[in-house]
Amino acid sequence: MGKIGKIEVITGCMFSGKSEELIRRLKRAKIAKLKVQVFKPSIDTRYSIVEVVSHTGEKIEAFPVTSSKEIFDKVEVDTNVVGIDEAQFFDSGIVEVLKKLAKRGSRVIVAGLDMDFRGEPFGPMPYIMAIADDVLKLHAICTVCGEDATMTQRLINGEPASYNDPVIMIGANETYEARCKLHHYVKRDRDDRQA
């Protein structure tokens, strides 16, 4: 009988330490002399094109990929641990890829935002959390009151983003803050107030 794989998820809002925890687990696997492969969406070029980098500067080498299929195709048969950062940006096929990798015996560690700036489930993350063996939900600190933050606040030119803004904005004049539910705000236009 083969080794049983598992799926571990690290989630939470921005600035909660998801990538840092992913990197910590992957570095421990390397210390244990396990073969590790790490993947990130190619659209995430904030700190590095070929590394997962935390906001605190921790880093680990990674393959930038454009689809979940590309992850599956690049994972080598003898890989023990597969790390995936920013999973919310992947297509829905990521769920099947994770299941196949775990069934093959890999330990799969996935990090990603659970909710978008609107406070709604982000991409495939709810499905990934549903199939996970373990889920760790991290909190940040609210930049307004200092309480635990679970929400990601998007600001555009210093103002809260509108509900109708695109979920993914690459190269826009935007910033993000961690916020608690009380201080998280999304502008609502008249035509979407019933949503």
Residue 176 assigned to a binding site: yes
* Ligand-binding site membership of 85 (annotated): yes
- 8-state DSSP, 130: H
17 annotated as a binding-site residue: yes
Q: Do residues 68 and 91 touch, judged by C-beta distance below 8 A?
A: yes
**Catalytic-residue membership of 86:** yes
- Residue whose pair of structure tokens reads 């200092």 in the numeric block: 146
Full DSSP string of 16-36: SSHHHHHHHHHHHHHHTT--E
184 assigned binding-site residue: no
Mark residue 33 as left, alpha or beta (left: phi above 0; alpha: psi -120 to 50; beta: remaining).
left
**127 assigned to a ligand binding site:** no
195 labelled ligand-binding: no
The active-site residue, picked from 20, 21, 86, 177, is 86
The binding site for ATP comprises 12-19, 85-88
Q: Which amino acids are annotated as binding site for substrate, given as ranges? A: 168-171, 176
As annotated, the active-site residues are 86
Binding-site residues from annotation: 12-19, 85-88, 142, 145, 168-171, 176, 180, 183
